[in-house]
Amino acid sequence: MKLLENKVAVITGAGSGIGKATAELFAKEGAKVVISDINTEHGNAVVKEITDKGGTAFFVAADSSKPEDNEKLVKEAIKKFGTLDIAVNNAGIGGPLGLTGEYPLDGWKKVIDINLSGVFYGLRYQIPAMLQKGGSIINVASILGSVGTRLSPAYVAAKHGVVGLTKGAALEYADKKIRINSVGPGYIKTPLVENSLDANALNALVGLHPIGRLGESEEVAEVILWLASPKSSFVTGAYYPIDGGYLAQ
């Protein structure tokens, strides 16, 4: 039997990168996957890739920074498949770079709205949908949810917030069969990273990881799959780095 046989999963930011890899792996393991993204073209392309391989998926256009879109996403999943078992709050942006004392106010708001408030809005509507029979929620934080870095105050603040929000919510719902965990990817070869950095900057990032390379989206997806599955049945409120040794230094 597949790990997620007949489970219904919602994944935000699933049009590319970690979200896409997670959606494809979930479908391979038997889940019915609700693909969500602000990019309709990318979202529908992921659905096609999954269904062409015999999996089950459909797309819902949603902006994770809007509460009403998160509510709509959960409602559409239940309308289509009758339930919600798993949610992966993955949508995120890097935002502008800048010193804290000079950081653009609109950049701060946008990063917090998507990377932190978006996770809260997800939880706000996913949890009530799981109260009857339980479920698993995985929030995608970052290594920068545990440590700081220069020039990214909004991103660091948001990802620290995601880790704390995850722990608090996990405690609230631990006795209601809803497990809530977070993962902390290091620098992963996603469009978010590759499209914003030149070759020299990418090489510098590689040097920050003792394992000697950047991570792959599929490697993060494997940990998310484990947290979504019954194999992690005694795990809640946890934060799992997937970072090639970055945080061990």
Residue 157 Cα distances to 112, 163, 185, 187, 208, angstroms: 8, 10, 16, 17, 21
Please report, as a single letter, which amino acid is at residue 134: G
239 classed as catalytic:
no
Query: How far, in whole angstroms, is CA 166 from its chain's centroid?
Result: 12
For residue 17, what are the CA distances in angstroms to 42, 50, 94, 109?
A: 11, 15, 13, 23
Report the C-alpha gap between 64 and 13 in whole angstroms.
Answer: 8
Residue 81 DSSP class? H
Kindly give, in sequence order, each residue whose CB lies less than 8 Å from that of residue 184, ignoring residues fewer than 6 positions away: 141, 142, 143, 145, 146, 159, 163, 239, 240, 241, 242, 243, 247
Q: Where are the alpha helices (DSSP H) in the chain?
A: 17-28, 40-52, 67-81, 105-112, 118-130, 153-173, 191-194, 199-206, 217-228
Active-site hit among 103, 121, 125, 155 = 155
Query: Active-site residue numbers?
Result: 155
